[in-house]
Structure 1
Amino acid sequence: MKRISIILCTAILFTACVSKKKYVALEQDNSELKSELTKTKVEKEELEAKFAAIEERVDDYNQKINSLTEDNNTKLVNVDGVVISENQKKALRESLKNVPPAYLATAKTLKDSMNLALQFNLKESMDTIEEDDDIAIKIEETVVMISISDKMLFNSGSYKISDKADAILQKIANVVNSEESLDIMVEGHTDNQTFKQNASIKDNWDLSVLRATSVVKKLQDKYGVAPEKLIAAGRSFYQPLVDNDTKENRATNRRTRIVILPNIDKFFALMNSNN
């Protein structure tokens, strides 16, 4: 009997020791969970504070946008991703009145109508320039490309402009000067033949650039085109129209290309200045 009592006491003590270890472990786990919970709460509060600040900034921006109105005529509207005022929108519609309605039939948006109107006006202006073997005109959407042979503009291997070019340059200047939102880029192109170098011209790069700048300066100095509307570029012989394998083909590749293109940013700035 005494032996049985001893065994029972030993078992109880052993069980108590195991339970105490488990309790300590559980207490540690509980402490870690509480710490993680506290950390999560802090992070959540920080995120909520940041989100509230962002919402406040968005509300502030929206209020500023909504306040950009003096009356109904200056209220901002979105036209195909471009924000303009009602007055600007009316001015754009006024500019469309001289365009035949049939020409605008394919337009789905106001922006489409603007592009078609500009294309129509450019085509009308180009009618004053006659095409021949030395002048080729191509119109793609709102961009006009005029290619002029070098024999009409320059002497062989030279960048001095011939008097024969006066008539065509005058007509091009008239087109550009008639619309303030148009820019003009002049590109010089050569064939691939080498020539005797001189103090001014080392290679075809030099020749193409100097020819482009000569035309640009002529348009500015003699025909009154604003210099900020002009761009000069040299292409050397790296964009040929045909292979440089015959005398005739090389003559085709020696050309000056004048690109007339709309400056949309300038167009909207002009609309704004007219309000």
Structure 2
Amino acid sequence: MKRISVIVLSALFLTACVSKKKYVALETENGQIKSELTKTKVEKEELEGKFAAIEARVNDYNAKINSLTEDNNAKLVNVDGAVISENQKVALRESLKKVPPAYMATAKTLKDSMNLAMQFNLKSSLDNIEEDEDISINIEETVVMISISDKMLFDSGSYKISKKANEILQKIANVVNSEESLDIMVEGHTDNKTLKSTASVKDNWDLSVLRATSVVKKLQKDHGVAPEKLIAAGRSYYQPLVDNDTKENRSKNRRTRIVILPNIDKFFALMNSNE
């Protein structure tokens, strides 16, 4: 009987031990599951944060793409050999409507049309300047070159502006001041005759530069031309009109060339503002 009791107690004890092991195992497994769940939640939150960051970057890229698409209209393009922007091309087509059709009859390309439109605008502004033996006007595409003999502007061998220069300089200033699209470069030219060196004028380089700057200063101070539109350049005797072999030819080479340069951006803005 005692032996049976021992066997029963042993069985109960073993059963209790097995149940406790299972419990511990289940607790351990439960802890692992909770740990995995916590890890999963953390990873989920991290992924959501990364996704939000990626979404923000995508939105930023889309905004940049839209901006680039808009800016693309301002990019330079080559049209019939003329480098202009898309916006300028549209503006040009609108501007051409304001130029008399007969004036545009010879245009074969958009570049031709652009040059003719600018020429028409410039010639209209140059009506008050008459050509004679001391003043010549030449227009090459969109650039106006006004050549003035030195006797119209300076005393002989000097860079001081003479009083008789006021009239022609005022006319040129009126042209430049009436058109926002125009800039102006003043070039001094001499003959090849050797100068007597002085404290301020050493050679023809000095004389040509000083004459150009004298005209620029006169245009700015006395005739109201904005200084940011002015350029002064000296050429000495290295760009003669004719050979410096006679007194008459040397006289032709002593000149001031005023180059009127249209600013294409200002030109289109000006043309579009005119009704």
Displacement of 1:178 after TM fit? 1.5
Q: TM-score when scaled to structure 1? A: 0.67
- Tell me if the contact between 2:91 and 2:268 (Cα under 8 Å) persists in the aligned partners: no
What is the CA deviation profile of residues 142-173 of structure 1, one whole-angstrom value per residue up to 9, with x for unaligned ones?
11111100011001110011111111111111
C-alpha distance in 2, partners of 1:146/1:221? 21
- Tell me if the contact between 1:79 and 1:111 (Cα under 8 Å) persists in the aligned partners: no
Gap change, CA 1:170 and 1:60, over 3 Å in 2? same
Alignment correspondent of 1:21: none
CA-atom RMSD, angstroms?
3.3
- Tell me if the contact between 2:95 and 2:268 (Cα under 8 Å) persists in the aligned partners: no
What is the CA deviation profile of residues 56-86 of structure 1, one whole-angstrom value per residue up to 9, with x for unaligned ones?
xx998654323559xxxx999978364344x
Alignment correspondent of 1:139: 139
C-alpha distance in 2, partners of 1:245/1:208? 20
Alignment correspondent of 1:83: 85
C-alpha distance in 1, partners of 2:70/2:185? 40
Q: Could you say what secondary structure the match of 1:145 adopts?
A: strand
Q: TM-score when scaled to structure 2? A: 0.67
User: How is 1:26-175 mapped onto 2 (pairs within 5 angstroms)?
Assistant: 62-66=65-69, 80=79, 82-85=84-87, 92-108=92-108, 110-175=110-175
Alignment correspondent of 1:220: 220
Alignment correspondent of 1:195: 195
Please, which runs of 5 or more residues in structure 1 have no aligned partner?
1-57
- Tell me if the contact between 2:92 and 2:268 (Cα under 8 Å) persists in the aligned partners: no
Rg bigger for which structure?
2
C-alpha distance in 1, partners of 2:247/2:270? 47
Alignment correspondent of 1:6: none
C-alpha distance in 2, partners of 1:68/1:142? 27
C-alpha distance in 1, partners of 2:215/2:160? 9
Gap change, CA 1:77 and 1:207, over 3 Å in 2? closer
Alignment correspondent of 2:210: 210
Displacement of 1:99 after TM fit? 1.6
Identity %: 77
Gap change, CA 1:195 and 1:82, over 3 Å in 2? closer
Gap change, CA 1:246 and 1:84, over 3 Å in 2? same
Displacement of 1:177 after TM fit? 1.2
Gap change, CA 1:225 and 1:189, over 3 Å in 2? same
Number of matched pairs: 212
C-alpha distance in 2, partners of 1:127/1:268? 21
Gap change, CA 1:241 and 1:223, over 3 Å in 2? same
C-alpha distance in 1, partners of 2:70/2:239? 52
Displacement of 1:113 after TM fit? 2.7
Q: Could you say what secondary structure the match of 1:138 adopts?
A: strand
C-alpha distance in 1, partners of 2:160/2:71? 53
